[in-house]
Amino acid sequence: MKMAKFRSENQTPTSMNKIFCPNCYNEFETEPDQCNCGYPFHGTEIDKYNFMSGIGNREIAVEQGKESASNSRNILFFIGGASLVLSLLFMFFEEDHTNNMITIIYSLILIGLGFYSYKEPFFALLMGLIVVVLGYLMMFILNPVLILSGLLTRIIIIAALIYGLITIRRSKKIAKEP
């Protein structure tokens, strides 16, 4: 079975002989030693494979950073939103609103940092981690009985935020590499 070569109307016989980089698709009249993106045209097959797999690994790391930022952002939104809703509900049942007002401010800060993380993920999530840890510490200071209440959940939340920060930092570092 013969494969037909497709040719657009604008292609001339000389444009069909052009060389394209397999990585960035730059077009060349003759085969260069190396493309602008760094692809080694005259390298060994191993050099070409290593170059292409390195690009793939960087892309995967950057995607993991974005996904991790999104997951950490969702944690801030969840903690802030849940605290806000519960504080508003408790305001109807309690006469002293001081604790509820503090919790509402805490919730709004977390939600605000969640939105700010769209612009500056690392900084916003670092501030979110600090606010969450300070919130937990304040809760323990005000009511020491709560130290063990939900401890595993608190550890998981803090660990997830730290993991998110580490992944974001690593992906930014990898994205800056040539």
| pLDDT tens-digit map of 31-84 | 888 887 778 888 888 877 777 776 656 777 778 888 888 999 999 999 999 999
Side chain identity at residue 43, one-letter code: G
Is the pLDDT score of 177 beyond 80?
no
- Strand (E) positions, 27-83? 27-28
Structure confidence at residue 6 (pLDDT): 40
Pairing of strands 27-28, 19-20: antiparallel
Q: How far apart are CA 145 and CA 148, in angstroms?
A: 7
Side chain identity at residue 24, one-letter code: C
Q: What is the pLDDT of residues 72-129, one digit of tens each?
A: 999 999 999 999 999 999 888 888 778 888 889 999 999 999 999 999 999 999 999 9
Q: How far apart are CA 82 and CA 60, in angstroms?
A: 32
Q: How far apart are CA 178 and CA 175, in angstroms?
A: 8
The domains of the chain are located at 64-176
Is the pLDDT score of 11 beyond 70?
no
pTM equals 0.65
Give the position of tokens 């806000």: 84
Structure confidence at residue 123 (pLDDT): 95
